[in-house]
């Protein structure tokens, strides 16, 4: 029987919540089991001032009580989860500012960069895949294949640095400043180019496979040109694998592209998170990872939805099996 949309929606929501809960336990456990102690890290610099050993021990104990680190782990977890849900993400051990404010300051910049980078990747990947699959093994296909392989082989910091050099010389591109529209195009381009090869390779393979099917031959027998066959018949059924992969790529872009953000000094969450990890800034790390998990789960749900819109056959098949 076809289930009503409300039931499907409720199940999806329950599933999402369950995934998030499990993820929060894992995140909490993972961060706490990492070697090192945040209090030690914080006291590392103060220790140089010349405090006596007993002073350090006293300060450490006070600080641990203050941060709630003396409590049993399950209690710490529940208190932390409750605060996360109510929007109190704690204060950074390092800066002393509200984690929520710090993270939310940086999320928009990351989101904008991810969306633009992904848009670049989609345009490039679809275009290259269509070009390459017109004649598999032909000269265009070979050139595209080499170019995508070369791009995969170049580390992204090198790609970013190179692009920055060229852009600075050619257009007077300025790296300094806030996240503005005037300077997003370069990091977006670099991110997009880095994601393009896998997407275009997968789409090319799937286009070629679909084009070998009888319906594509039938379209040509009715007079459709090679280009029309690709665009109007083959492209849509061929999108499914690329959509799945694209969703994963988009999720990883959203959660921050550390290297690109560093190269272009882009004020996103990626760099912020890496700094927090080296400083053992638990509240920041935990908030970041939970937020990232939530984003990944949400993006995946979104991709599922897009998938259903683009290719409703999957629904019919799943229902028939169930």
Partner 1 sequence: MTPALTVRGLTVDYRGAAVLDDVDLDVAAGEVLVVLGGSGSGKSTVLRAVLGLVPAPGRVRAARLALAGGRGPIDLADPRARRRARGDRIGLVFQDPVLALTPLRRVGSLVREAGADRSGVEPLLAASGFGRPAAVVDRRAFTLSGGMAQRVGFVLAVAGGPDVLLADEPTTALDGPARVELVDRLRERAAAGTAVVLVTHDVGVAAALADRVLVLDGGRVVESGPTARVLGAPAHPTTRALVRDVPWALPPRRRAPAKGPAVVRVRGLTKAHPGAGAVLDGLDLDVAEGEVVGVAGRSGDGKTTLLRCLLGLERPDAGELRLGGVDPAAEGWAAVRRVVQLVPQDPRGSLNPWRTAAQQVADPLDFHRIGDRAARRVRAMELLDAFGLGGLAGRRPTELSTGQCQRVAIARALAVRPRVLLADEPASALDVTRQAELIELLTAVVAEHGTSALVVSHDLHVLERLCDRVAVLAEGRIVEDLPVGRLRADAAHERTRALLAAHPTDPLAAATA
Residues near partner 1 (CB under 8 A):
1-2, 213-225, 232-233, 236-237, 311-313, 316, 319-320
Beta carbon of residue 9, minimum distance to partner 1 (angstroms, whole number): 18
Instruction: Return the number of the residue (171 or 225) whose C-beta is nearest partner 1.
Output: 225
Q: Token pair of 229, please?
A: 């066959």
- For partner 1, the closer CB: 194 or 234: 234
In whole angstroms, how close is the CB of 162 to partner 1 at the nearest point? 39
Alpha carbon distance 63, 309 (integer Å): 54
- Minimum distance from residue 130 beta carbon to partner 1 (Å): 17
Q: Which is nearer to partner 1, 79 or 236 (CB)?
A: 236
CB of 305 to partner 1, least distance (A): 17
Q: What is the 3-state secondary structure (H, E, C) of the chain?
A: CCCCHHHHHHHHHHHHHHHHHHHHHHHHHHHHHCCCCHHHHHHHHHHCCCCCHHHHHHHHHHHHHHHCCCCCHHHHHHHHHHHHHCCCCCECCCCCCEHHHHHHHHHHHHHHHHHHHHHHHHHHHHHHHHHHHHCCCCHHHHHHHHHHHHHHHCCHHHHHHHHHHHHHHHHCCCCCCCCCHHHHHHHHHHHHHHHHHHHHHHHHHHHHHHHCCHHHHHHHHCCCCHHHHHHHHHHHHHHHHHHHHHHHHHHHHHCCCHHHHHHCCCCCHHHHHHHHHHCCCHHHHHHHHHHHHHHHHHHHHHHHHHHHHHCCHHHHHHHHHC
Smaller CB distance to partner 1: residue 10 or 318? Answer: 318
CB of residue 140 to partner 1, shortest distance in Å = 17
Nearer to partner 1, 61 or 225 (CB): 225
Select 162 or 231, whichever has its Cβ closest to partner 1.
231
270 contacts: CB under 8 Å, gap ≥ 6: 110, 255, 256, 257, 258, 261
* Minimum distance of partner 1 from residue 1's CB (angstroms): 6
Say if CB 159 and CB 194 are below 8 A apart.
yes
C-beta of 220 vs 300, nearer to partner 1? 220
Output 174 or 313, the one with its CB closest to partner 1. 313
Rounded least distance, CB 94 to partner 1, Å: 53
> CB of residue 250 vs partner 1: minimum separation in angstroms?
23
């Amino acid at each position: 029987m076809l289930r009503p949309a409300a039931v499907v929606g409720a199940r999806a929501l329950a599933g999402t919540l369950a995934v998030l809960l499990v993820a929060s336990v894992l995140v909490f456990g993972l961060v706490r089991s990492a070697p090192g102690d945040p209090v030690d890290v914080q006291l590392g610099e103060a220790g140089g001032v010349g405090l006596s050993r007993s002073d350090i021990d006293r300060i450490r104990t006070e600080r641990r009580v203050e941060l709630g680190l003396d409590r049993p782990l399950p209690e710490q977890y529940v208190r932390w989860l409750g605060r996360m849900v109510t929007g109190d993400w704690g204060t950074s051990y390092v800066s002393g500012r509200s984690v929520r404010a710090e993270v939310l300051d940086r999320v928009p910049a990351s989101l904008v960069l991810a969306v633009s980078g992904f848009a670049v990747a989609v345009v490039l990947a679809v275009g290259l895949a269509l070009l390459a699959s017109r004649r598999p093994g032909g000269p265009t296909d070979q050139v595209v294949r080499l170019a995508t392989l070369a791009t995969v082989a170049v580390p992204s910091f090198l790609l970013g640095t190179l692009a920055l050099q060229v852009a600075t010389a050619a257009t007077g591109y300025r790296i300094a400043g806030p996240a503005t529209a005037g300077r997003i195009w370069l990091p977006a381009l670099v991110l997009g180019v880095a994601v393009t090869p896998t997407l275009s390779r997968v789409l090319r393979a799937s286009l070629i496979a679909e084009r070998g099917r009888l319906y594509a031959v039938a379209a040509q027998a009715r007079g459709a040109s090679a280009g029309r066959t690709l665009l109007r018949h083959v492209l849509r059924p061929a999108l499914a694998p690329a959509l799945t992969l694209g969703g994963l790529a988009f999720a990883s872009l959203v959660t921050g592209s550390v290297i690109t953000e560093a190269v272009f000094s882009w004020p996103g969450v990626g760099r912020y998170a890496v700094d927090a990890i080296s400083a053992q800034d638990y509240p920041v790390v935990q908030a970041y990872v939970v937020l990232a998990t939530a984003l990944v789960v949400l993006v995946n749900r979104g991709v599922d939805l897009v998938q259903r819109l683009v290719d409703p056959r999957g629904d019919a098949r799943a229902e028939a099996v169930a």
